[in-house]
Amino acid sequence: MSGTEEMSKALKATTPGFCDMPSTIVRASIVQASTVYNDTPKTIEKAGEFIAQAASDGAQLVVFPEAYIGGYPRGYRFGIGVGVHNEAGRDCFRRYHASAIVVPGPEVDKLAEMARKNKVYLVMGAMEKDGYTLYCTALFFSSEGRFLGKHRKVMPTSLERCIWGYGDGSTIPVYDTPLGKLGAAICWENRMPLLRTSLYGKGIELYCAPTADGSTEWQSSMMHIALEGGCFVMSACQFCLRKDFPEHADYLFTDWYDDQHQEAIVSQGGSVIISPLGKILAGPNFESEGLVTADLDLGDIARAKLYFDVVGHYSRPDIFNLRVNENQNKPVTFVSKSVKAADDSEPQDN
Q: How crowded is residue 196: how many other Cβ atoms within 10 Å of its Cβ?
A: 21
177: left (phi over 0), alpha (psi -120 to 50) or beta: beta
Render pLDDT for 47-81 as a digit per residue (tens, 0 to 9). 999 999 999 999 999 999 999 999 999 988 888 88
Q: Which residues contact 272 (CB under 8 A, 6 or more apart)?
A: 30, 219, 222, 233, 234, 235, 280, 282, 283, 284, 285, 292
Least confident of 11-15, 198-202, 321-325: 11-15
Point out the catalytic residue in the list 66, 128, 189, 205: 66
Q: Give the rounded distance of the alpha carbon of 252 from its chain centre.
A: 26
Q: Global pTM?
A: 0.88
Whether residue 66 lies in the annotated active site: yes
Amino acid 124: pLDDT? 98
CATH topology of domain 24-306: Nitrilase/N-carbamoyl-D-aminoacid amidohydrolase (3.60.110)
Mean pLDDT (the chain, rounded):
90
Helix (H) or strand (E) holding 136: strand 133-141
Least confident of 153-162, 225-234, 261-270, 318-327: 261-270
Q: Is the pLDDT of residue 166 over 70?
A: yes
CA distance 232 to 302: 12
> DSSP state, 246?
P
Q: Is the pLDDT of residue 9 over 60?
A: no
